[in-house]
Amino acid sequence: MLDAITTIGIGALTVYPFWRILTRAGIYQPIALLAFLGFPGVLIVATVLAFGRWPNVEGRAP
């Protein structure tokens, strides 16, 4: 029971920052809700951010 509460708590703390990052990057924001799945969800969101196309920054060179 405590593991479920911990996972939901950590998910709640990570969803908002992921949601903001995905919004600024122009990526579908509800993907951030995968953070509620624990580490695998956070890993999926991080992978989408790392390897996905960012429509809001296309054409700009670093």
Q: Where are the domains of the chain?
A: 2-54
* pLDDT the model gives residue 35: 84
pLDDT in tens, 15-40: 999 999 999 888 899 999 988 887 88
Q: Which residue has the higher pLDDT, 60 or 29?
A: 29
* 45 CB-near residues (< 8 Å, 6+ apart): 18, 22, 31, 32, 34, 35
* pLDDT the model gives residue 42: 87
CA 37-15-17 angle, to 5 degrees, is 145
- Give 6's pLDDT tier (boundaries 50, 70, 90): confident
pTM summary value: 0.74
pLDDT (average), residues 27-55: 88
Q: What is the dihedral of CA 6, 8, 45, 54, to 10 degrees?
A: -130
